[in-house]
Amino acid sequence: MTSRLARARRIVIKIGSSLLVDGSDGRIHRAWLNALADDIAEARAAGQEVLIVTSGAIAVGRRHLGLPAGSLRLEESQAAAASGQIRLAHAYQEALGRHDIGAGQVLLTLDDTEGRRRYLNALSTLNTLLKLGAVPVVNENDTVATAEIRFGDNDRLAARVAMMTSADVLVLLSDIDGLYDSNPKLNPDARLIPEVKALTAEIEAMGGKALPGDSSGGMETKLMAARIATGAGCHMVITNGRAMHPLAALRDGAPCTWFLADANPRTARKRWIAGTLKPTGTLLVDAGAQRALAAGRSLLPAGVTAVQGLFERGDAVIVAGPDGGEIARGLCAYNNEDAGRIAGHKSDEIEQLLGYRGREELIHRDDLVMS
């Protein structure tokens, strides 16, 4: 169980408001955050990549803006988030900075992670931060949210981040040990379930809605997160993060619930590209490109002979060989117009042709599935 965490290459850690922020005065629990940063530094020293999805902006900001307790109007929540997010980001920067680890703030909406256009940009920012050795610190971009900001939205956001970055493990640090067979706040005999292999109706029924006054989305949003994460080949674990060094505690056998994925992130992502997305265009390629793709390489503009259909950057397209037959599917890094302009050209001509320095590949091999 613990080795599952140790084996992970890329880990997303979601931190709930109640762990990070004092409910009465809105102060950030610095000592706890420092201890978490120690755990993160240890994971990175062991070669693991770590991304953080954090809540707490509203909880911090509302006290600093003098907003009353109780429920806030949407614009008040947004103002609170705007004010709290600065402090939150700063706290992470300081905590990670103690280990000389850089932090990069990334504010996303659930929509960015669902719509593939902005998705590609968000993903390359996250990957670039990781490559440069920084820890992405993600929160929802609450100021542009149009719907009511709900507690628990970040559970789903974290699962989407895990999905898009092909993380192996998502850790939800919460104020509850894991999934119980009934609500432990209402039933003293409730039993913790250590491992969930499939999200059956029976498991879903154990979820239940958040109780009034809960500062989290309860189990319901966590089960939604589990569905997204495991569907993307990412194992998810819920554990109580209250103790200092919550990751070390998890490693050392703290109570928790693991939700197991049946595929690895790579396979699941390829399944998603091959099966779920509807291609809206076609790239015709020459025999040389066809051979390169069969050998596992990316699709470069030079090998493309024609571009058909209408598509945006990040949309799924069909790749067809010289005889017109489908050979692969993938996410195209350019829209149909730009793809048409650079088709047949060397990658180092892209900047001159388009006026900006885009990707070298039309379809990166990670975004490509042979048919």
Q: Which of 39, 49, 112, 142 binds ligand GLU (CB under 6 A)?
A: 142
Q: Which amino acid type is present at position 74?
A: L
- Check binding of 57 to ligand GLU (CB under 6 A): yes
- Check binding of 109 to ligand GLU (CB under 6 A): no
> Residue 304 in 3-state DSSP?
strand
- Check binding of 58 to ligand GLU (CB under 6 A): yes
Counting residues that bind ligand GLU (by CB under 6 A) gives: 15
Closer to ligand GLU at the Cβ: 159 or 293?
159
Q: Which stretch binds ligand GLU (CB under 6 A): 23-31, 57-65, 311-319, 323-331?
A: 57-65
Q: How near is the Cβ of 24 to ligand GLU at its closest, in Å?
A: 16
- Check binding of 240 to ligand GLU (CB under 6 A): no
Dmax (CA) of the chain:
68
Question: In degrees to the nearest 10, what's the CA dihedral of 111, 115, 118, 120?
Answer: 130
In the chain, alpha helices (H): 2-7, 17-20, 30-45, 57-64, 74-97, 110-114, 116-131, 153-164, 201-207, 218-231, 246-251, 265-271, 287-294, 336-342, 350-354
Q: Which stretch binds ligand GLU (CB under 6 A): 41-49, 50-58, 94-102, 129-137?
A: 50-58
Cβ–Cβ contacts within 10 Å for residue 354, how many?
14
The conformation of residue 328, written as its DSSP 8-state character, comes to E
Distance CA 240, CA 266 (A): 29
- Check binding of 158 to ligand GLU (CB under 6 A): no
The conformation of residue 226, written as its DSSP 8-state character, comes to H
- Report the site for ligand GLU in 59-78 (rule: CB under 6 A): 59
Q: Which of 78, 83, 109, 139 binds ligand GLU (CB under 6 A)?
A: 139
Q: Which stretch binds ligand GLU (CB under 6 A): 39-47, 56-64, 279-287, 296-304?
A: 56-64
Contacts to ligand GLU by CB under 6 A: 17, 55-59, 81, 139-140, 142, 149, 151-154
